[in-house]
Amino acid sequence: RTFGIKGGKAAALLRGQIPWTREEIVTAYSLWLNPQYRRRKSPKQGLPDLEKISQVLNTHYHEGRNVRNKHAVDTQVRRYRKKQKVA
């Protein structure tokens, strides 16, 4: 059994999943901060539009395939913010 980050990536590949790249996470975070990617209507007006961000990531990094969803974007951005100690 393999442990550590490389083991996690290998397991994800075996399950047919595509691991996040650092560039993709940084792009997701920058879109998260961008006012153009905020929800304009209720519910959750003013919060990041995770669906729109996931569509941009899928188009830019995965040739339009539905690889990332709003839950995955939310999780990765929150992990990135915690790691960077960003409020």
SS (H, E, C) 12-55: HHHCCCCCCCHHHHHHHHHHHHCHHHECCCCCCCCCECHHHHHH
Q: Output the pTM of the full model.
A: 0.84
Rounded CA separation 48/58 (Å): 17
- Tens digits of residue pLDDT in 11-62: 777 778 899 999 999 999 999 999 999 999 888 899 999 999 999 999 999 9
Neighbours of 60 (CB within 10 A): 13
